[in-house]
Amino acid sequence: MSRDSTYVSTRGGTPPMGFRDAVLMGLATDGGLLLPASIPDVHGELRAWSSLSYPGLAKAVMAPFIGTDLEPGVLGDLVERSYRVFADPRICPLTAVGPVHVLELFHGPTLAFKDVALQFLGNLFEYILSATGECLNIVGATSGDTGSAAIAGVRGRSGMHIFIMHPHGRVSPIQERQMTTVLDANVHNIAIEGTFDDGQRVLKEIFNDLPFKNRFRLGAVNSVNWARVLAQIVYYFHAAFRVRESTGCERVRVCVPTGNFGDIFAGYMALRMGAPIGHLILAANENDILARFFATGVYSRGPVVATTSPSMDIQIASNFERYLYYRLDEQPTRVRKHMEAFARSGRLEIPGTDASFLAGRATVPETAAVIRRYYREHGYLLDPHTAVGAAVAERFLDDGEPTVCLATAHPAKFPEAIREAVGEDVAHHPTIDSLMDLPTRCNVLPASRAAVQEFIRVTLGG
């Protein structure tokens, strides 16, 4: 299957562009997010795709969104190199655990689901830049796992520098060390004095400063970058095919612990393409702005609550705008109006419901109880984010649609939460244990555009 790849902004003010330009642009110049102008219908491909290896499936799923923007053979080579570094040859293995099927997305270099996309994006960036002789300075904000995965994807690569902001003291100690122990000359860690939402705000302000963005050739690795979402679409097809094989059921439902709406949006795209998915289950912690939206139609910002699943401690989900574009019938004027209203008041409302989504939240005590129960009853250790998903998924079990739970991180990344839940020090991984005695490098800055821009300017000598 082949098609021309054209990308448009959710706000309609950026000229259409091809895949390469969309990848390098990241956030659209009008402040919106980039999306394919049309979604391919792949119902006719499902039988052939169901027998492919993970790399083969990745190539097949991504190809229609890329068209002729990569030379023949390049996509396959990028995919093969990206997943060669995963510890499990199955890339994203599936395990039946109690009432659910757990899709393990943590076998990459930093033990988090972000590796699935960011290893690919790092290789893609390097290929595009080598072909043009250009450079790229990547700026990102992370609530925990994106930062280390992005750094692992681009560390030491030529033609690139990476600046990653994380909320000072609000990521797990291990997540912090995974970022700050990387001392490559092209890696720059910034701890901002605020929350992840503050970092995300600073990021958007920097990208909306078009003279600065163009002068320093800034690019994005956050899930605002379409290529991140694209690479994540693949494992929804993969999980649905494998569970159909083992259960004989026609469709599955997939539960996604989410804070920024990027991972579950990839599932939404897979569903719209024709993946055998009946429902998506959105699982939130106490920061439940998204769960409340799907229950009430009201998207309303509140204070950020610190939990044991810190990567989900988010109140403003940057990828929600992509979903809003489809809920508003692909009308960018309406999207822009709603996003501007939300920026002013912290609230927007969309009438109606979406039957594709189920949603719920799990509290810190509920999360700990699920970790403890799965460990004692099934001998399986969930990280706190995955446990949020399992807790919510169990409320929506359906014999006709087996449930897949996305396991977004290895439990060794959150040993304190695991120890508190099960009463034992059982969450370990050699990759994590080796970080404890390494030197670190990080800069603490105010959560302001001016402070971060000055740091970038001085670092790059501009």
> How far, in whole angstroms, is CA 22 from its chain's centroid?
17
- Check if 337 is active-site: no
Q: Terminus-to-terminus CA distance in the chain, angstroms?
A: 45
Question: How does 384-401 read in b/e, with b if 16+ C-beta sit within 10 Å?
Answer: bbbbbbbbbbbebeeeeb
| CA gap 175, 18 in Å, rounded | 35
And the tokens for 196? 């992840």
| CA gap 141, 163 in Å, rounded | 9
Which listed residue (59, 114, 204, 213) is catalytic? 114
In SS3 terms, the chain reads as CCCCCCEEECCCCCCCECHHHHHHHCECCCCCEEEECCCCCCHHHHHHHCCCCHHHHHHHHHHHHHCCCCCCCHHHHHHHHHHCCCCCCCCCCEEEECCEEEEECCCCCCCECHHHHHHHHHHHHHHHHHHHCCCEEEEEECCCHHHHHHHHHHCCCCCEEEEEEEECCCCCHHHHHHHHCCCCCCEEEEEEECCHHHHHHHHHHHHHCHHHHHHCCEEECCCCCHHHHHHHHHHHHHHHHHHHHHHCCCCEEEEEECCCCHHHHHHHHHHHHCCCEEEEEEEECCCCHHHHHHHHCEEECCCCCCCCCHHHCCCCCCCHHHHHHHHCCCCHHHHHHHHHHHHHHCEEECCCCCCCEEEEECCHHHHHHHHHHHHHHHCCCCCHHHHHHHHHHHHHCECCECEEEEECECHHHCHHHHHHHHCCCCCCCHHHHCCCCCCCCCEEEECCHHHHHHHHHHHHCC
How many CB atoms lie under 10 A from the CB of residue 207?
Answer: 22
Q: Are 178 and 429 spatial neighbours (Cβ–Cβ below 8 Å)?
A: no
What positions carry a catalytic annotation?
Answer: 114
